[in-house]
Structure 1
């Protein structure tokens, strides 16, 4: 698999996978995002996103958040290991600049890895 790519295999697309993570997943939260995660039987992480229209009425805002999450995930996928991740956005984050949101995601990836290594 490409070292820093984001292929279709790395996306959560099956509704059953989302249900499993929402039901049995653990979470790491910040003021901008909540990341739910659950270990998978694969050697690589998979990403799903829940960016609701209720929080961002304009598609351009939802797409911006999705691009930022994908890019941050793509850069950190090597340390995330075999986990399924769902990133949930919180209302009002579209007012923050990209750099703040990327920094917030970076802290969450680090916290997630630390939380997983502690347990």
Structure 2
């Protein structure tokens, strides 16, 4: 639910964590950590008024490029369609090797749980 032009289904630049410093800050000092199955999300408020996503799909957990690409594609699509556009958080999602053996449906289910936990947490702290 990221703001975008009508008819365009991409993942806009403003919805991504782009700099190493953004990742480092989140990895060192997350405000909240959500774990579900083979996914772990580190969350931090960003004061930008819209959510941003970073993905960590390391080669040591997902050996083949096609597997890493699949997981990234699923993460981006789930984030784009499930996270409210006005939720001001930065999220870095890391994956483990057991994610590769799961179906797309199972991964989406886990992601929905993570996004819901993040929304619930954000609503409580506001």
TM-score by length of 1: 0.92
Establish whether residue 10 from structure 1 lines up as the match of residue 12 from structure 2.
no
The match for 2:61 among 33, 55, 61 is: 55
- TM-superposed CA distance for 1:5, in Å, is 4.9
Query: Structure 2 CA distance, aligned partners of 1:52 and 1:29?
Result: 17
| Larger helix percent | 1
Moved over 6 A (4+): none
* Structure 1: segments with no counterpart, 5+ residues: none
| Contact 1:45–1:80 under 8 Å retained in 2 | yes
Which string of whole-angstrom CA distances, capped at 9 and with x for unpartnered residues, describes residues 32-52 of structure 1? Answer: 200001000201100000000
Distance 1:5 1:44, change over 3 A: farther
Structure 2: state its 5+ residue gaps.
none
Equivalenced residues, count: 119
User: How many Å separate the matches in 2 of 1:104 and 1:73?
Assistant: 12
